[in-house]
Structure 1
Amino acid sequence: MPTGWQSILSKKVHFYSQLKGKDKDRFERDVVRFLTKVKITGVSCTVELEDRLLVASSGVIPLFGFPACTYRGLEEVILYPTTFNRQFQLDDPDELITGMVGSGVMEGKMILSKPALHEGFDISNDKENTGIHEFVHLFDKENGFIDGVPPGFEDKAFALPWLQFVHTKIKEIDADQSDIRYYATTDAMEFFAVAGEYFFERPVLLKRKHPALYKALVKTFNQDTAGFISEGFKKVEIGRNDLCLCGSGLKYKVCCWEDEYGW
């Protein structure tokens, strides 16, 4: 890996910073391989080295449990300077898209908002990462299409229980009984992508609060992320009636307080 790349990854990519020895070396090789295979271009914005490394890291993380695997058909990632709509027009107040896996004439391409890409890595504990979200969609597509059924779960014996489980989790979110981001209620596809963000950013919390979901994602991504990714932030003093730091929108006393103190 070229000089200076490791320092950027260590500073910006929490997942990478938690790896040790051979795993860290493999991540670096995967990033280099990604960048040799996938073109990264900017529309009305420049593409810097840091942008390229964050895009590559977004792609490497979901596949890290499958050494030497790549995304079939991905040719280009396009960065936009802001949000966009489905016609790829910028700053539409009625449609603020931050990422999209291309289809039709855009097949083989992914579009990402450059600011959203950076925000996903700048804040490593909010269970949100636009780059990872879109690459989880692309991982979902490995079985032919994006349907919210993880690769390896296509058989009815696995797909139906998974979709029933997703339906149950979505009902919990709708009832304000979950800290999973509300966007996951859109459909099974978005649930899988949102759950993937949670799995790669806050795995320890996910394992504690949603053990069945965590177990399924360990199998899906072939990674036990809670075993090596720390929470990524320092503990601070928080009152029982303050909003919980996990991002659920709930008060601390009815959210992670119960997990931390067993009440």
Structure 2
Amino acid sequence: MNATYWTFIIASIFLLAFIFWAVKTNYLKRRHPVFSNSWRAILEDKVSFYQTLTASDKARFEKEILYFINRITITGVEMEIDDTDRLLVASSAVIPLFGFPELRYRNISEVLLYKGTFNADNQTEGEARNILGKVGSGTMNRLMILSLPALHQGFENEKSKNNVGIHEFVHLIDKADGVTDGIPENLMQKQYVLPWLQLVHREIEKIKENESDINPYGATSEVEFLSVASEYFFNQPDLFAEKHPDLYELMTKMYRQEP
């Protein structure tokens, strides 16, 4: 073995070491080791779900927020985003799974925030820009796209039954068992599946007959009904319990929560 060979080997080792250092440094820069008071103030101001928690549950909520933010990239597309934006994305993820401390999202790597609505081709210009959120598939697998204004509106309007962030993360929960069918098998015990489907089909018929206050988009399919009903369940739990007591009772069992 000549000197050139050893020079190449040593140079390769140094290059690999530099790459490892650069990746680790970038990760550490992005990583948030503690939950700051400024973040806590944002949650107290923006996230009603957090406001109603006990002190111990607030601490657990913050821990879950940190876990999410440290592992999932949140990117503003053609715009700068701030801590409030990131915390609202993370809250959207944490809320549906809060009754399941042992569960984590394994089917997402990045959330893209758009400055407005977009179309089926993920474009923010042109026609048919009526999409507020989307879970990616195919080449967009492990990605989620959210309209930033719609994300904020879901938390700021106290009378709204809609929350696009929760909507899309419920799709991810549904998708996690391998089949996107409106039955979140990772959450729902088997004895509740048939009663759930019966209630879903009954309510979809009411929506189609204009006899329900659930978002008409929920009548599109069992998949969309799950996400639409979940938005309502978490955003307006008292009203949902009043208007849909059977659904509310079953969803408290499904999510292990009584919001």
- What TM-score comes out, normalization by structure 1 length? 0.81
Q: Matched residues in 2 for 1:154 and 1:186: separation?
A: 25
Counterpart pick for 1:186 among 220, 223, 233? 220
Q: Give percent identity, aligned residues only.
A: 48
Contact 1:101 1:109 in 2 (8 A): yes
* Equivalent residues of 1:85, 1:96 under 8 A apart: yes
1:59 and 1:154 map into 2 onto residues whose CA distance is 21
The CA RMSD measured in Å over matched residues stands at 1.5
How far, CA to CA, are the matches of 1:81 and 1:163 in structure 2? 36
Paired residues for 1:64-79 under 5 Å: 64-79=98-113
Task: Summarize deviations over 1:170-199 as a string: whole Å, max 9, x none.
Answer: 111111211111111111111100100011
Give CA-to-partner distance per residue, 1:71-130, whole Å, 9 cap, x none: 112111011111111211104432411100111111111110111111111112211011
Q: Answer whether contact 1:170 1:184 (CA < 8 A) is retained.
A: yes
- Corresponding position of 2:22: none
Match of 1:126 among 150, 160, 163: 160
AA paired with 1:11? D
Is the 8 Å Cα contact of residues 174 and 185 (structure 1) preserved in structure 2? yes
- Asked whether the 8 Å contact 1:129–1:197 carries over to 2, the reply is yes
Which residue of structure 2 lines up, in the alignment, with residue 98 of structure 1?
Answer: 132
Match of residue 13 from structure 2: none
Residue range with higher mean Cα deviation, 167-176 or 50-59: 167-176
**How do residues 89-238 of structure 1 correspond to structure 2 at under 5 angstroms?**
89-151=123-185, 152-153=187-188, 158-225=192-259
| 2:79 maps to 1:45 | yes
Per the alignment, in what secondary structure is the counterpart of residue 134 of structure 2? Answer: strand
AA aligned opposite 2:179: F
1:139 to partner: Cα distance: 1.2
**Cα 1:154–1:187 shift into 2, 3 Å:** farther
Structure whose CA Rg is larger = 2
Contact map agreement 2:155 2:163 (CA 8 A) in 1: yes
Question: 2:198, 2:128 → 1: CA distance?
Answer: 32
Q: Distance in 1 between matches of 2:161 and 2:218?
A: 12
Equivalent AA in structure 2 for residue 5 of structure 1: W
Q: Which has the higher helix share?
A: 2
Q: Give the equivalent residue in structure 2 for 1:244.
A: none
Deviation, structure 1 residue 31: 0.5
- Give the partner amino acid of 1:75: S
Matched letter for residue 200 of structure 2:
V
List alignment gaps of at least 5 residues for structure 1. 226-263
Name the amino acid aligned to 2:220: T
Q: CA deviation at 1:165?
A: 2.2
1:59 aligns with 2:93: yes
How many pairs were matched up?
224
Letter in 2 for 1:174: K
